[in-house]
Amino acid sequence: MKKLIVIMVGLCTAGNLLAQDLKLWYKNPAKIWEETLPLGNGLIGMMPDGKINDESIVLNEISMWSGSPQDANNYQAFNSVGDIQKLLFEGKNDLAEALVNKNFVCVGAGSGQGNGAEAPYGCFQNFGYLNFLFFHQGETTDYKRWLDIGEAKAVTSFKNSGINFKREYFTSFDKNVGVVRLSADKKKSIEFAMHFYRDQNIENYKVNGNEITINGSLPDGKGGRGIKFAAKFMVIAKGGTLKDHDNQIIVKGADEALVLFSASTSYYDHNPEEYVNSEISKVERSSYAKLWKAHAAKYEPVFNRVSLQIADQESKASVPTDERLKAFFNDPSQDNGLASLYYQFGRYLTISSSSPNTPKALPPNLQGLWAHQIQTPWNGDYHLNINAQMNHWGVEVSNLSEYHNPFIEMIKNIAKEGTKTAKAYYNAPGWVVYMMTNIWGYSAPGEHASWGSSTASGWLCNHLWEHYQFTKDEAYLKEIYPVLKEAAVFYKATMVKDPKTGWLVTSPSVSPENGFKLPNGKRAAVVMGPTIDNQIVRELYESVIKSNEILNLNDEFAVQLQSDIKQLAPAVVVSKSGRVMEWLEDYEETEPKHRHVSHLYGLYPANFISPITSPEWADAAKKTLEVRGDEGTGWSRAWKILFWARLHDGDHSLEILRQLLQPAFGNSTTYQGAGAGTYPNLFCAHPPFQIDGNFGGSAGIAEMLIQSHDGYIHLLPALPSAWKDGKVTGLKARGNFTVDFEWKDGKVTNLKIKGKKGTEVPVIKNGEKINFKVS
Ligand code: FUC
């Protein structure tokens, strides 16, 4: 009887708070790259496929970039800007666009239309493959492979000829090395041949006893050599025999083997060969246990800053991840655990694809740091009209603030290059960069007006400011103030007065990357004052004005901005159809369901549009989203999760999370959403793989649980009805607060806010505005 009551209670409640489920796991080896499991320490990456007889591990190094520094600015461009602006004043956008394409784009090959591997722009590329041939002959049973994101470790295990084999892989967060341990429960069972493979640009390949060393260099895109790279592999076998043969190391009859891997490039201003020798020498005498302990001690405290449990009726942890994806797409309410796993996977990818404590660390690129091709899609670069930004949307709220730093450093560097671009295109002071960059500091516009002529400098400043908002670090704010200010200096110097409205607007520009129909029936993309620019410039001016106040700088320039800001276009103009206008004119879009929703920049990441502070604009944003539709490429879906979260509609956010997690098995490239979703290894499918959707989706889940942009710490602002009960610890709110709480039946319980002791902070809890004492 007692048992029956317990079961009944179990059925009646919303679900159980189960332990965090932090494993991706599969019953079969990976057949395609998008099934392999990503490991990385921010510098190097490994993706094992777990094949039984011929395992291949895709290797990466985040600075593996071809190309070289180039000046792609057209220093004559400023001579045309007046004519372009005049044509725009006259409504001749098609002619203005032709002139932009002629005189206002980059010089030279630019990004090589996204195929810049051999151009000066270059591309991020695969490092190579570590290939194993194992000599298993019997039948294999009990096969399983997994990635434990709580430990940052992958494992393949199976039984062959009655012997249990285990392969463990991790990229250490302690020393910069990759580690593979091959073991079995019967002595003398470890037998394999191992070699390194890369089909281009290898200059030396040496096998010597238990070591393989390689080096080479990548084309600089100007007919010479650019980045130098090197790698070293070492096999340490227990028992058995080891010999080198041809390009391979062959191990027979060993009890166990440890494979160590180090890779680096000259990007870091060191000799990569010396570097890999030194990294391997630091670990070659360490036991696996010692290596593991040092790795865990560095990784786990960072990962464990946040925990998330969303209650489920029953755990689905025993279902393989690819099958869970399919089931989630049918009914997301049956597996809340997958939503929290996906959230934590985003945090895992952040920690794995950037190394904030390393000098010259790079931020995650379009693929994080994982690539299996030489010519990566869109050069695996840093696209600045949504993608590189989205890669950082979750870092602050998800308690990984220092993972913003490599991006912030990149912004500071590109700001220096961008002073040349401001001169070249407008003969203006300050700095500007356009919609893409690379590790070489590219700042010029792209090759074509329709996608290459939006400025990104203002949007990048959003990241500088948000980092301050969350950390409240005034020393940092002082450091970045000149970067914010000089970005504003550029806009102030170059904006023009729209003759119709009298507003100060950017010109020329585009609303990324959408176009419209002109009254003469022609299509165009180039305009003055697209809504996104109006919002970005307003936000930038506000942050300069506020920084000047906070830092007591008495900067006359910030005072001038106070009058300029009054002349800017409003952040939102509502169209006759009740939507947020994308341009100054109420044009008909060429693609009404375009993946970019740039005119809602003011809803997220900025905060001009809010159901609390500007409900009419929030209604217009809702209408805009309804017309734009839920579908889209991977990152577009992720952005829409955030939009609906900001509109406080958790059920709609969850519906789009369902679509973001749509099982994706193709890897072609499409723009309108066909094939978009999530690959079996939980990588986001644009398609092809693009990591922004992972980071955006993870940020979206956080935004459903906490928001702090409206002057309140708003708890559960967009809780889906399926997420009845749950518990979260360690989320961050603006003001440098750390927030833990539980919720039951949608109501917050057990709230704890850590921060400056004794302060009272405005909180919205269960729909009520209260002041909460910080502990
Ligand atoms: C932008 C987007 C594309 C793609 C590319 C890398 O140009 O419009 O969809 O994500 O970046």
272 prior amide bond cis, ω within 30? no
For 276, the token pair is: 């890999």
User: Candidates 684, 686, 689, 695: which one to mutate for ligand 1, based on the most atoms within 8 Å of Cβ?
Assistant: 686
CA distance 442 to 63: 15
What b-and-e string marks burial along 173-202, b requiring 16 or more CB atoms within 10 Å of the CB? bbbbbbbbbbbbeeeebbbbbbbbebeebb
**In the 8-state DSSP scheme, what is residue 86?**
H
**Beta-carbon contacts of residue 572 (< 8 Å; ≥ 6 apart):** 531, 535, 580, 581, 602, 608, 609, 614, 617, 620, 621
| Residue 251 near residue 192, CB atoms below 8 Å | yes
The answer, yes or no, to whether residue 657 has pLDDT greater than 70, is yes
CA distance 276 to 292: 20
**Beta-carbon contacts of residue 261 (< 8 Å; ≥ 6 apart):** 44, 46, 59, 130, 177, 178, 179, 180, 231, 232, 233
For ligand 1, whether the C-beta of 168 sits within 6 Å is: no
Cα end-to-end distance, the chain, whole Å: 45
For ligand 1, whether the C-beta of 594 sits within 6 Å is: no
Model pLDDT, residue 673: 75
pTM, to two decimals: 0.97
For ligand 1, whether the C-beta of 686 sits within 6 Å is: yes
Q: Average of pLDDT values for 296-300? A: 98
For ligand 1, whether the C-beta of 689 sits within 6 Å is: no
pLDDT tens-digit series, residues 589-645: 999 999 999 999 999 999 999 999 999 999 999 999 999 999 999 999 999 999 999
Q: Fill in the amino acid letter for 474.
A: E
CB atoms within 10 A of CB 339: 26
The answer, yes or no, to whether residue 128 has pLDDT greater than 60, is yes
**More confident position, 570 or 4:** 570
**More confident position, 347 or 9:** 347
**Beta-carbon contacts of residue 546 (< 8 Å; ≥ 6 apart):** none
**What's the 385 CA to ligand 1 centre distance in angstroms?**
8
Sole residue written with tokens 């590219």: 442
pLDDT tens-digit series, residues 508-558: 999 999 999 999 999 999 999 999 999 999 999 999 999 999 999 999 999
**In the 8-state DSSP scheme, what is residue 643?**
H
The β-bridge relationship of strands 44-48 and 56-61 is antiparallel
445 three-class SS? coil
Confidence of residue 14 (pLDDT cuts 50, 70, 90): low
Q: Which of 430, 574, 406 is nearest to 494 (CA)?
A: 430
CA distance 232 to 284: 12
For ligand 1, whether the C-beta of 637 sits within 6 Å is: no
Q: Fill in the amino acid letter for 461.
A: C
Torsion over CA: 303, 307, 311, 315 (sign): positive
Q: Average of pLDDT values for 251-259? A: 98
**What's the 465 CA to ligand 1 centre distance in angstroms?**
24
* β-sheet bridge partners, residue 580: 574
Q: Average of pLDDT values for 103-115? A: 96
| Residue 280 near residue 234, CB atoms below 8 Å | yes
Q: Which of 333, 239, 343, 233 is nearest to 284 (CA)?
A: 233
Torsion over CA: 31, 32, 36, 40 (sign): positive
| Residue 443 near residue 77, CB atoms below 8 Å | no
Helix (H) or strand (E) holding 236: strand 225-238
The answer, yes or no, to whether residue 6 has pLDDT greater than 60, is no
Model pLDDT, residue 209: 97
**In the 8-state DSSP scheme, what is residue 77?**
T
Model pLDDT, residue 666: 66
**Beta-carbon contacts of residue 17 (< 8 Å; ≥ 6 apart):** 309, 311, 725, 726, 727
CA distance 394 to 697: 9
For ligand 1, whether the C-beta of 392 sits within 6 Å is: no
Helix (H) or strand (E) holding 90: none
Torsion over CA: 492, 494, 495, 497 (sign): positive
User: Candidates 123, 386, 510, 671: which one to mutate for ligand 1, based on the most atoms within 8 Å of Cβ?
Assistant: 386
Confidence of residue 667 (pLDDT cuts 50, 70, 90): low
Model pLDDT, residue 743: 98
pLDDT tens-digit series, residues 424-467: 999 999 999 999 999 999 999 999 999 999 999 999 999 999 99
For ligand 1, whether the C-beta of 335 sits within 6 Å is: no
Q: Which of 666, 528, 660, 530 is nearest to 601 (CA)?
A: 530
432 three-class SS? coil
Distances (CA, A) of 542 to 275, 532, 561, 731: 45, 15, 8, 26
For 162, the token pair is: 């009655």
Q: Which of 473, 467, 475, 460 is nearest to 405 (CA)?
A: 467
CA distance 645 to 709: 12
Confidence of residue 8 (pLDDT cuts 50, 70, 90): very low
Confidence of residue 136 (pLDDT cuts 50, 70, 90): confident
User: Candidates 115, 365, 382, 383: which one to mutate for ligand 1, based on the most atoms within 8 Å of Cβ?
Assistant: 383
% of the chain beyond a pLDDT of 70: 98
Residue nearest to atom 11 of ligand 1 (CA): 383
The answer, yes or no, to whether residue 38 has pLDDT greater than 70, is yes
**More confident position, 11 or 504:** 504
**What is the residue-averaged pLDDT of the chain?**
96
Report the nearest atom of ligand 1 relative to the CA of 378.
6
Model pLDDT, residue 751: 98
**What's the 667 CA to ligand 1 centre distance in angstroms?**
15
Confidence of residue 668 (pLDDT cuts 50, 70, 90): confident
409 three-class SS? helix
**What's the 425 CA to ligand 1 centre distance in angstroms?**
24
**In the 8-state DSSP scheme, what is residue 401?**
G
pLDDT tens-digit series, residues 379-410: 999 999 999 999 999 999 999 999 999 999 99
Confidence of residue 672 (pLDDT cuts 50, 70, 90): confident
| Residue 455 near residue 111, CB atoms below 8 Å | no
CB atoms within 10 A of CB 520: 10
| Residue 88 near residue 508, CB atoms below 8 Å | yes
**In the 8-state DSSP scheme, what is residue 569?**
P
Helix (H) or strand (E) holding 210: none
For ligand 1, whether the C-beta of 381 sits within 6 Å is: no
Report the nearest atom of ligand 1 relative to the CA of 686.
10
For ligand 1, whether the C-beta of 434 sits within 6 Å is: no
Map 500-564 to HEC letters. Answer: CCCCEECCCECCCCCCEECCCCCEECCECCCHHHHHHHHHHHHHHHHHHHHCCCCCHHHHHHHHH
